Structure 1
């Protein structure tokens, strides 16, 4: 409002100077102006609404129009024309085209009635000047309004981009936490299952078969060390993305034979069949294959019972990998619930879905448990 107040003061000053100049001129040269107590209130009524034009644009415009009629009839100066143009510009730029068009129509009606009656000899040039002034004000209002709309849209887009960036950051954090949770579950669940089975065996054999108990304890020790190594790797990723320490490579399909050997050493006979070349699979697909096989064999260890054997088949068919992990163990209803509803199965399915694949797990009709999965790669 400070700028608009200064603008109104400058316009009022112009009219005051015109009034003073006309007062100083001899009455014989032109008609004497109206008395100051009429002139000054009319000037104030014309320019005062300009101060409030941004806060009350429509009210200010029509108050200006009303006082402008009296100002023009008294031929006080130029402020009525200037303030009318400013009011039209404000309506177009800050309110709407409809409000501006209605204001132009009102001004045209007033001009067509007042101008021929007040200026019968010059009413056509006067109307041309009035219309050109209104057209210029409209064009200026359109330009400023378009720039304001552009800046408003730009600010809105920036806010949306900031919101989208924050949401993407939260999604990335959630995905990373889910990935780490799956990795931790796979590492810990497999290692703990192996260690529990070996510890139970060592407890039974410690008196009658000390050699067997010693091998079981060694297996527990090596399994624990491997689990600690993988946990350190995961925690190292959490601490820093640029860790200069030693990194353990991620397991993949090339580690399946080692995994099968560890499970056999625990007491679960495993037959591993690999069809096709699976050594050059993408790292993510290879890790997914390894973790699915690891989780399925871990479930067999925990729930299948004694005398169980398992068959693992990994086949590369074109641009996909087919997995089949089958055991012949007998599960109780409680263990079936544990396998089907636990985090392990959820993790396996998520690993398959990451690559657009599928995974199914459930009891076999002839007994035992089966996990089948398909992981596409290549163009995906």
Structure 2
């Protein structure tokens, strides 16, 4: 019925018409019937109840259509259909439109019914007014009750819809954040490994005839870098595949304690790296420790790709009370300040974006830019106490 309101309203109209016809039949069977011919009563009854079919589609129009038809229906004294139809119209206005429209309609009904009672039902004035008052008061109160319940259910449905929307939005945000995290991990692993492999492969191709030992060391570095990258990629794939939370064997995740190995690999790739650590990095939150490693890794990868021949890098990690300061600089000739527009975007592509996102995840900050005398600097600040 709720999905097809006109079906229920049509049944209501039919029942009301049958009730009016039943009253007509009873009066017609009386010893001294005072009824109009059926060809007057039946059409008037049908016209009386027809607007009720549309009472929920057009409640205001239905109410005043019933009011207009109820006047001749009552004047001709064709039955109780006009009273019940008018009461149903009032109930509909209270539930679906509001008290203001219902009050205007009730006032119009009071004027109409009062005039009809005074003119036509002189001997039944008191009983008619009592019947009118009781019927309309009951329908108004019933409409208030049903309207309140309807408003309550509407509010509950709206809140449930809002909660569902917020839950879906939170899920989308979580998925986007997870995608971003995986993208950063893949970028850091692949970009660093490929950069080291390319540099070492180029060096090996030049040294294979002149310095076989150097070429062999380069090949070993390529092999070690590739295996390490493969292990980290497998770890990421294990995380993606492990939907049931089963603890599967994984390659150990790099952290701040692995910076020395990272510096050695980059040095072997052709860029000497000086690592300076001030303070104890043990016991750092896992996310912060991984973030330090990835920021240094991406910075040194960019040095390998962009700093040019003969460049050197300096990595400085300083732990204060609750903040880790990470500074990576190089003296590459390809990064002079004059080559970078003052209002232009910084080079580095997704790598710089990934470093900045890593810093922001832990409530930190990242500053990237050229040095005045040439070279490049990456400076990150990571609060230790804000790690998730």
Instruction: Work out whether the TM-score is over 0.5.
Output: yes
Query: Which of 31, 37, 40 pairs up with 2:39?
Result: 37
Shift, 1:222, TM fit = 0.9
Shift of 1:224: 1.1
CA-CA distance at 1:167 after TM superposition: 3.7
Which of 12, 20, 25 is the matching residue for 1:20? 25
Question: Aligned residues, how many?
Answer: 377
* Secondary structure of residue in 2 paired with 1:207: helix
SS in 2 for 1:378: helix
321, 326, 336: which is aligned to 2:329? 326
Which of residues 91, 97, 100 in structure 1 aligns to 2:99? 97
- The residue that corresponds to 2:50 in the other structure is 48
Conserved in 1, the CA contact under 8 Å of 2:234 and 2:250?
A: no
What is the rounded CA distance, in whole Å, between the counterparts of 1:77 and 1:126 in structure 2? 13
Describe the shift of the 1:79–1:99 C-alpha distance in structure 2 as closer, same or farther (beyond 3 A): same
| Cα gap change, 1:73 to 1:233, in 2 (>3 Å) | same
1:356 aligns with 2:363: yes
Shift of 1:324: 0.9
More displaced stretch, 288-297 vs 212-221: 212-221
Counterpart position of 2:250: 247
Q: Of 9, 32, 39, which aligns to 2:14?
A: 9
Is the alpha carbon distance of 1:115 and 1:247 closer, same or farther for their aligned partners in structure 2, counting shifts above 3 Å? same
- Equivalent in 109, 133, 136 of residue 134 of structure 1: 136
Q: TM-score, normalised by structure 1?
A: 0.88
CA contact (8 A) 2:335 2:376 kept: no
Q: Which residue of 2 aligns with 1:217?
A: 219
Range moving further from structure 2, 157-166 or 208-217:
157-166
Kindly report which structure 2 residues correspond to 1:145-156, keeping only aligned pairs within 5 A, or say none. Answer: 145-156=147-158
Task: Report the CA distance between 1:336 and its aligned residue.
Answer: 6.6
CA distance in 1, matches of 2:269, 2:260: 14
Looking at structure 2, the residues matched to 335 and 365 of structure 1 have their Cα atoms a distance apart, in angstroms, of: 9
Farther off after superposition, 121-130 or 228-237: 121-130
Equivalent in the alignment of 1:265: 268
Verify the 8 A CA contact 2:337 2:374 in the aligned structure 1: no
Check conservation: 2:234, 2:251, Cα contact below 8 A.
no
Is the 2:278–2:318 Cα contact (8 Å) retained in structure 1? yes
Say yes or no: does 1:368 pair with 2:385. Answer: no
Distance 2:227 2:339 in 1: 30
1:228 deviates by: 1.2
Corresponding position of 1:196: 198
Q: How does 1:103-142 map to 2 (within 5 A)?
A: 103-120=105-122, 122-142=124-144
Distance 1:379 1:332, change over 3 A: closer
**In structure 1, what is the Cα distance between the partners aligned to 2:265 and 2:338?**
23
Instruction: Confirm or deny: 8 A CA contact 1:182 1:347 kept in the other structure.
Output: yes
Distance 1:44 1:18 in 2: 14
Superposed CA deviations along residues 352-376 of structure 1, whole A, max 9, x for unmatched, are 1222221112222233221111112
The verdict on how the C-alpha distance between 1:339 and 1:94 changes in structure 2, with shifts beyond 3 A counting, is: closer
Unaligned runs of 5+ in 2: 1-5
2:3 aligned partner: none
- Per-residue deviation at 1:277? 2.6
**Aligned-residue RMSD, C-alpha:** 2.7
Shift of 1:294: 0.8
Matched, 1:305 2:308: yes
CA distance in structure 2 between the partners assigned to 1:33 and 1:83 by the alignment: 20
TM-score by structure 2 length?
Answer: 0.87
Q: Paired residue for 1:78, among 77, 80, 93? A: 80
**Residue 378 in 1 paired to residue 356 in 2?**
no
Separation in structure 1 between the aligned mates of residue 313 and residue 61 of structure 2, nearest angstrom: 86
| Cα distance between partner residues in 1 of 2:80 and 2:364 | 79
- Aligned counterpart, 2:352: 345
> How big is the shift at 1:125?
4.9
* 1:84 to partner: Cα distance: 0.9
Q: Give the ranges of 4+ consecutive aligned residues of structure 1 lying more than 6 Å apart after TM superposition.
A: 333-339
**Cα distance change of structure 1 residues 260 and 116 upon mapping to structure 2, 3 Å threshold:** same
In 2, the alpha carbon distance for the partners of 1:184 and 1:335 equals: 32
Q: Does 1:256 align with 2:263?
A: no
For residues 307 and 45 of structure 1, the distance between their equivalents in structure 2, rounded to whole angstroms, comes to 100
The 1:128–1:277 alpha-carbon spacing in structure 2 relative to 1, beyond 3 Å, is farther
Q: Distance in 2 between matches of 1:136 and 1:364?
A: 85
**1:332 Cα deviation (Å)?**
5.6
